[in-house]
């Protein structure tokens, strides 16, 4: 089996098509549900090229909109969270309610007709899963449950109660690599024994133990504890799940823990992302810092790998490469999905 053409990882035209045909029609994690739990709260984020804003309006309804003024196209709200009574454009002060309706436009009374009813913010699909907030910028978004499939049940069966987790920290990162390279690196542990010695000392990454599964829009890697390693807690194995097209969800074995976040393109050869970390309310600070340091080390090792791959594929010296049918089956699953979306 051959990989996608390596030219696909540095082509600006292809990246524009990916934003339109992949990111504009997929459910993506944008933040925490508790950030927009109260009337008047908002959250602004990016979904791979589409700026979005999620609000809780005066009636308590959760809403999402394209974060774009209907007048001249300015982004209304900078990324982040907060509280406000309305959304006002910093360009010409057009003002929208948290329900998306256009409330005022300076000098509109001097015009013959400004169709306020037709100039509301563009609505988007929004939904929650436990403490997680998702947005789909597509026109006819399927239910979030279709994207998640059996993932919620699988995490519950693994001993992870999402309602018992509390947010503790966000870690942002940037990569000098195409977003697909970052996702593909996440979707295989063929490299783990070589590149992640500390991880491989805890999680059994041998091919006979480390399981790879793809079901619908979710690709999963399940890694048991290495023999002889003891840990306390309800989670018996590592769970590393990927929700198409760009959401990573990690659970380390031991006491309950979870991190979740997207990988977003910022150019044909650059990407960025973040991970939100959740722990039980009574989790000790020392243990949290230890797990965060462990995960940060794995992330630093991966950053070196994906940026090295980007430098190689950019060169054009080789057209593509082979995929190992067993060890890289989730990369093959991902690349098929990319090719189908762009076809």
Please list the residue range(s) of the chain that carry CATH number 2.102.10.10. Answer: 28-140
For residue 68, the SS3 value is strand
pLDDT of residue 331: 98
pLDDT digits (tens, 9 = 90+) for 228-270: 776 777 788 999 999 999 999 999 998 999 999 999 999 999 9
| Helix H or strand E segment including 154 | helix 151-157
- pLDDT tens for each residue of 102-147: 999 999 888 888 889 899 999 999 999 999 999 999 999 999 999 9
- Of 29-38, 223-232, 241-250, 283-292, give the lowest mean pLDDT range: 223-232
The per-residue pLDDT for 1 is 87
Note the CATH number of domain 149-342. 3.90.380.10
Query: pLDDT at position 100, please?
Result: 97
User: Is the predicted pLDDT of residue 86 greater than 80, yes or no?
Assistant: yes
Q: How far apart are CA 304 and CA 306, in angstroms?
A: 6
Q: Could you read off the pLDDT of 36-58 as tens digits, one per residue? A: 999 999 999 999 999 999 999 99
| Positions of CATH 3.90.380.10 in the chain | 149-342
Do 332 and 321 form a contact (C-beta atoms < 8 A)? no
In the chain, the percentage of residues whose pLDDT exceeds 70 is 100
Q: How much is the mean pLDDT over the chain?
A: 95
Read off the pLDDT of residues 149-160 as tens digits, 9 standing for 90 and up. 999 999 999 889
- According to CATH, the topology of domain 28-140 is Rieske Iron-sulfur Protein (2.102.10)
Contact 276, 170 (CB under 8 A): yes
Report d(CA 169, CA 276) in Å as an integer.
6
pTM of the model: 0.96
Stretch 278-300: mean pLDDT: 95
Q: Mapping DSSP to helix (H, G, I), strand (E, B) and coil, where does residue 300 land?
A: helix
Q: Are 84 and 43 in contact (CB under 8 A)?
A: no
pLDDT on residue 122:
98
Q: Are 245 and 264 in contact (CB under 8 A)?
A: no
Give the span between the Cα atoms of 245 and 23, in whole angstroms. Answer: 7
pLDDT tens-place string over residues 165-208: 999 999 999 999 999 999 999 999 999 999 999 999 999 999 99
- Hey, how many other C-beta atoms are within 10 angstroms of the C-beta on 246? 25
């Amino acid at each position: 089996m051959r990989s996608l053409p390596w030219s696909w990882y540095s082509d600006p035209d292809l990246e524009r098509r990916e934003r339109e045909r992949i990111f504009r029609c997929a459910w993506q994690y944008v933040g925490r549900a508790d950030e927009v739990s109260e009337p008047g709260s908002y959250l602004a984020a990016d979904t791979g090229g589409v700026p979005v804003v999620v609000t809780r309006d005066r009636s308590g309804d959760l809403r999402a909109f394209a974060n774009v003024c209907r007048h001249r196209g300015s982004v209304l709200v900078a990324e982040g969270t907060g509280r406000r009574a309305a959304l006002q454009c910093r360009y010409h002060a057009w003002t929208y309610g948290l329900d998306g309706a256009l409330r005022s436009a300076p000098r509109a009374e001097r015009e013959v007709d400004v169709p306020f009813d037709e100039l509301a913010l563009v609505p988007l699909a929004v939904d929650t899963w436990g403490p997680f907030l998702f947005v789909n910028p597509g026109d006819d978004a399927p239910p979030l449950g279709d994207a998640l499939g059996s993932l919620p049940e699988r995490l519950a069966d693994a001993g992870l109660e999402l309602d018992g987790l509390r947010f503790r920290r966000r870690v942002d990162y940037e990569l000098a690599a195409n977003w697909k390279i970052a996702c593909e690196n996440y979707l295989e542990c063929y490299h783990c024994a070589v590149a992640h010695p500390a991880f491989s000392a805890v999680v059994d990454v041998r091919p006979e133990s480390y399981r790879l599964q793809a079901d619908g829009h979710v690709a999963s890697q399940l890694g048991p504890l290495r023999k002889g390693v003891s840990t306390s807690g309800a989670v018996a194995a590592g769970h590393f799940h990927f929700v198409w097209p760009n959401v990573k969800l990690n659970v380390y074995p031991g006491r309950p823990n979870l991190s979740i976040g997207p990988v977003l393109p910022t150019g044909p050869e650059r990407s960025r992302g973040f991970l939100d970390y959740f722990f039980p309310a009574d989790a000790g600070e020392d243990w949290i810092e230890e797990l965060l340091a462990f995960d940060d080390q794995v992330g630093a090792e991966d950053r070196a790998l994906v940026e090295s791959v980007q430098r190689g594929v950019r060169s054009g010296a080789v057209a593509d490469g082979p995929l190992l049918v067993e060890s890289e089956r989730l990369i093959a699953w991902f690349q098929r999905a990319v090719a189908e979306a762009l076809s």
